Structure formats: structure tokens, C-alpha cells
Amino acid sequence: MAFAFETALKQLPEELAGALTSRLTQPFTGYLSAEDVQALEQDSGLSGHDLLLAMLPLAASFSQAPVSHFEVGAIARGRNGDLYFGANLELAGEALFHSVHAEQSAISHAWLSGETGLTEIVVNASPCGHCRQFMNELNSADELVIVLPGQDNGALHHYLPYAFGPKDLGVEVGLMAASGQALQLQDADALVQAALEQARLSYAPYSHSPAAVALACRDGQVFVGRYAENAAFNPSLPPMQMALAAMARHRVGFDQIQRAVLVEKADGQISQVNAATAALAAISPVTLEVNRAS
């Protein structure tokens, strides 16, 4: 276990820490199946939201916050009961808009894992306006419940009244709903194809500019991120940041990146090249490979 994980376990109730230590596969990358959750409830004596709230230090242990030094953990529950952990990610020395919020990390974790909807988000601090707007893009936003320590559970729209969202711009299919982009790229390179597959699954209903990133590490692992757009534009999550957040959840150092590939639509209204290049340059000397699909 990583040191941060061991420290987090010490903050948990003894029965829960013991159950996690004996049951979790190592290394723990922030995913628990519905069956895992049921077993933890039986072993720890905690259930429902009490269990998820107790595990927030574990989610926060994935945080990388060299600027704020404020670690935030979030847990998203999928429709079938699976749990997806996330934490905030900041890039040292870089502009703050490169940051990934914990809620964004947990949501992207679920989305990359194939989830098509969420029922609740558990966070160790009240969601900021940026995250409330990002969550409002979800296809399940109307039913989404926010769970916070020491507070009554409330619907997302309690925290974001009079919200502006996809339907205000004529978009009926929200983030995490089934989607597909008919992108084509004649390149047999496996990493390019991995990025292309994710670009096809990206969510860009406003700019119509699907994009994705694939990062290859020295040990053979590949981490991907796809573009997640937002009706308010600024809370959109770029594909590079999503891929870096995935690496952080796997506790893989950014110095392990060997190749970085971006695939985006050739005639898209916007480009991710400059943003992805800047984020990558902050953490790695690797040059971004750019591919444009038709």
C-alpha cells in the first residue's frame, strides 16, 4: 500500500479499516463493486451513507494538492451500487484552471468505467459552484443526491437553484448518457487507436469538437481521458486532465509517462492542443503527439 493509503486507513473506524485491509485487492485504485460494499457493510457494522462518509479519508488519500494543500475526496455511486473514488488534482506551478476537482475526478472515473448514470456524490467538503455546475451536466442531475459530513442530504438542485444546463441550450442527452462520434483515423498505432476510441465516446454537444488523450507509461500501463463539455463552458473537463486524474488514482507518477497522444476532430470548432500541451509540459518532458480525425 502507498503511504497515503496507510495513513488514511488509520483515520477510519477500526472494524472498517480491518475489513478494507483484508478484502481490498492491492493496489487499491478507488473502485468498489456493489458486492464489495455489501461485504464491507457486514464486516464493519456501517451501512448506507455512514459507510461512504467513513471512507472519505480513503478517497482524499488520492489527492495531489501542491497549491492549496487542501485534500478533497469524493465518492460517486453508480446506478447499480458500484462506488468510484476521486480526489482533487493540482499541477504545481501552473494556472489553477488546470486543476481537477474531486467531484470531477470521481465522475470521470465512473464514466471511463462504463457507468451511464449516478445516484449520489459523497464529498468531504461542500461542492464549490464549479462542481455544482459540472454535476448539473449529468444525465441524472435531476435525481442526484449530495451527501456531506454533518449535514442533511440534499438534491443537487438544492445546492444549485435556478440552474442553467444542457436543456437551456437545446441538449437533451446529458453527460454519461450513451453517445458515439463517427470519427475515422487511418493509423494502426495502438496508442493512437486507444485515444481514437475514447474520442468517439467524448461529450462535446456545444462545440462539436470531440477529443481524447492516451498516455503510455514505462511499465506498459495506458491511461486515457476524454473531453467532457459543460453548458457553462468553463467547468468543462479537458481530456488531458482526465487522464492525469486517472494516473493519480492509480498512484502512478507522472514521470512514468513515455508517450502522450491526443486525437481530436479535424474540423472541430475548438482545439485541445494548446491546453493539453501546457498541462503535459507541467509534469513531463514528453512531447504531445497530435492526430486529427475526420
Catalytic residues, by residue number, are: 103
The number of CA neighbours under 13 Å toward the Cβ of 253 is: 4
79 vs 177: CA distance, rounded Å: 12
| Strands, E assignment, 174-236 | 211-217, 222-226
64 vs 102: CA distance, rounded Å: 10
Question: To 5 degrees, how large is the angle CA 46–CA 47–CA 53?
Answer: 80
- All three cell numbers of 116: 451511464
Q: Which helix (H) or strand (E) holds 293?
A: strand 288-293
109 vs 55: CA distance, rounded Å: 17
- All three cell numbers of 272: 485541445
> In the chain, which residue ranges form alpha helices assigned H by DSSP?
3-9, 14-23, 34-44, 48-54, 56-60, 102-112, 129-135, 156-159, 190-200, 239-249, 273-283
Query: Among all chains, which residue has been given the C-alpha cell 481521458?
Result: 225
34, 82, 83, 202 from 119: Cα distances, Å: 13, 10, 11, 21
List the one residue out of 2, 40, 68 whose CA is nearest residue 249.
2
Query: Among all chains, which residue has been given the C-alpha cell 459543460?
Result: 230
How many C-beta atoms surround the C-beta of residue 131 within 10 A?
Answer: 25
Q: Which helix (H) or strand (E) holds 77?
A: strand 73-78
